[in-house]
Amino acid sequence: MTQVPTTISTTAQHLIPQPASVSASGVTESFGFSHSDKKLHSSAVIVDKPNDDGFNWRKYGQKHVKGSDFSRSYYKCTHPNCPVKKKLERSLEGHVTAIIYKGEHNHQSTLPLLFGN
């Protein structure tokens, strides 16, 4: 197989609809995440589903790091041309303590595009 040249898409930060703080490759976001005391009568979106950015993610792994304080979930974009990966760090209580985005989307979000125009 002919190996690809190099740097397929490293500097391509221009079509990111994310209003969050996206600096460049290897973005690292960390926030407290204020959970509301809501009692889900069954199973809504408290089990895994990360914060939907408008993209679809498929979990491909989970490991506990930091000795035994946090668990890390690995998500990958389900798009055909999205080499983007997301790491979800959660505490034992289930609180998201950090979200690490890696790479950038080569497509628009699945959202109907309502903000921006």
Q: Which residues contribute to the site for DNA (CB under 7 A)?
A: 47-49, 56-63, 65-67, 72-74, 76, 78, 85, 87
Quick check: 105 and 77 in contact, CB under 8 A?
A: yes
Q: Which is nearer to DNA, 67 or 116 (CB)?
A: 67
3-class secondary-structure state, position 87 = strand
Closest CB 110 distance from DNA, rounded Å:
11
Closest CB 60 distance from DNA, rounded Å:
5
Q: Which is nearer to DNA, 57 or 101 (CB)?
A: 57
Phi, psi of 27 (to 5 degrees): -80, 145
Q: Which is nearer to DNA, 18 or 85 (CB)?
A: 85
DSSP letter for 79, please: S
Closest CB 106 distance from DNA, rounded Å:
17
Beta-sheet pairing, 96-102 with 85-91 = antiparallel
Q: Which is nearer to DNA, 15 or 65 (CB)?
A: 65
Task: For residue 111, give every residue at least 6 positions away whose Cβ sits within 8 Å of its Cβ, in sequence order, or none.
Answer: 17, 54
Task: For residue 2, give every residue at least 6 positions away whose Cβ sits within 8 Å of its Cβ, in sequence order, or none.
Answer: none
Closest CB 117 distance from DNA, rounded Å:
28
